[in-house]
Structure 1
Amino acid sequence: MLLGVAARSIEHGLNQGSPLEPDPRDYPDALQAERATFVTLEIHGALRGCIGMLEAIRPLVLDVAHNAFAAAFRDPRFPPLTRAELPRIEIHISVLTPPQTMRFSSEADLLGQIRPGIDGLILEDRGRRGTFLPSVWEQLPDPREFLEHLRYKAGLPGGYWSDTLAVSRYTTESFGTSIDEAFGEGLRTV
């Protein structure tokens, strides 16, 4: 159902220039709950956009609709999605658990607590913040390399460490499909 909402929100963006605004009351209770999500778009396995929220601030169905639109049209790394690209899009949705603050005494202690393939991490310090979803473990399977790249993403120098560094972890429930299948899901279930 969420994949259908994401697909329709992208199509709505192409036609109207704004995200779909589904009424959460039209959906099951589980999709009305406030949850944080990321929506990732790919074309032939290559990233085409990824936008999300780390904190739950709106119903799940609205978060997906807004993040799908933003991934297609507002990711600053890419130009807005074109109608010609739409048939090739794959949509991936990650629903996040609430972040849990990690307690550690050193970089080695932190690295020993990280669960490769399971944890998404949020790294914060000096007014900077970055996150990697658990799916990033596929490209960066080594915890030390994962952490190093996350530092760069947060705008911190390589090897950076301080006593004020904060790290939180979360897990995700992730699923994805082609745009055609997502439209089919949305039409069957909504």
Structure 2
Amino acid sequence: MKNNKITKLARQAIVKYISQGEQLKVNLAELPEILHKSAGVFVTIKKANKLRGCMGTFKPVQENAAEEIVSNAITAAENDPRFPALEKEELSEITVSVDLLSAAELVTEQAELDPGKYGVLVKGGHQSGLLLPDLSGINSVEEQLKVAKRKAGLTEEAVVEIYRFTVQRFSEDE
């Protein structure tokens, strides 16, 4: 789904932070109503169509989704442990997408899952792992759960609570 104001907010936050070391100030009056409410948000950065950073919050920690986007965009650019911090020279080479998460619901049967439609959160003890929906290479419920458990640091055999959620995905490259 395209909403230039949503992806533009994430990009502006990244550019301002990487270029000037400052956090972007949010003006809610200029942003869509959907960003005025609180929501979990993930910001994904790709370079040459490959993942370059992705960080987010399952439950909101900021006052509204706009602030959540700014915070998570900076974190995805600077603090994704899988990648070095984004460099100024890379800013023109990246694409940004934003996922706004719905509230999660407990799943009692795997038949209630669909990796193309639902993201999953698995919880085993104090460990949890989240996987967004509709990801390249994740084509089955089994694969989705396996990756989510691995992200949580759990074994494939671990018994977990499973939650599903939907996202509204906004992308620059559509």
TM-score with structure 1 setting the length = 0.82
Other-structure match for 1:122: 121
More helix by percentage? 1
CA distance in 1, matches of 2:84, 2:23: 17
Pick one of 159, 171, 174 that aligns with 1:176. 171
2:128 pairs with 1:135: no
CA distance in 2, matches of 1:97, 1:75: 23
CA distance in 2, matches of 1:86, 1:26: 24
**In 1, are the aligned partners of 2:79 and 2:85 still within 8 Å (CA)?**
yes
**In 2, are the aligned partners of 1:24 and 1:59 still within 8 Å (CA)?**
no
**In 1, are the aligned partners of 2:44 and 2:97 still within 8 Å (CA)?**
yes
User: Which of these two proteins has the greater Rg computed from alpha carbons?
Assistant: 1
Other-structure match for 1:29: 33
Aligned length: 169
Deviation at 1:91, TM superposition (A): 0.3
CA distance in 1, matches of 2:22, 2:80: 14
Helix, strand or coil at the partner of 1:134: coil
Helix, strand or coil at the partner of 1:48: strand
Pick one of 65, 69, 72 that aligns with 1:67. 72
Deviations 1:30-82 (A, max 9, x none): 32111111000000111000011101232111111111111111111111100
TM-score with structure 2 setting the length = 0.90
CA distance in 1, matches of 2:171, 2:33: 21
Helix, strand or coil at the partner of 1:85: helix
CA distance in 1, matches of 2:172, 2:113: 29
Q: Which runs of 5+ in 2 are unaligned?
A: none
Deviation at 1:16, TM superposition (A): 2.7
Other-structure match for 2:19: 15
Q: Structure 1: which amino acid aligns with 2:123? A: E
Q: Which runs of 5+ in 1 are unaligned?
A: 105-109, 182-190
**In 1, are the aligned partners of 2:114 and 2:140 still within 8 Å (CA)?**
no
Helix, strand or coil at the partner of 2:111: helix
**In 2, are the aligned partners of 1:18 and 1:69 still within 8 Å (CA)?**
no
Deviation at 1:25, TM superposition (A): 4.4
Q: Structure 2: which amino acid aligns with 1:46? A: K
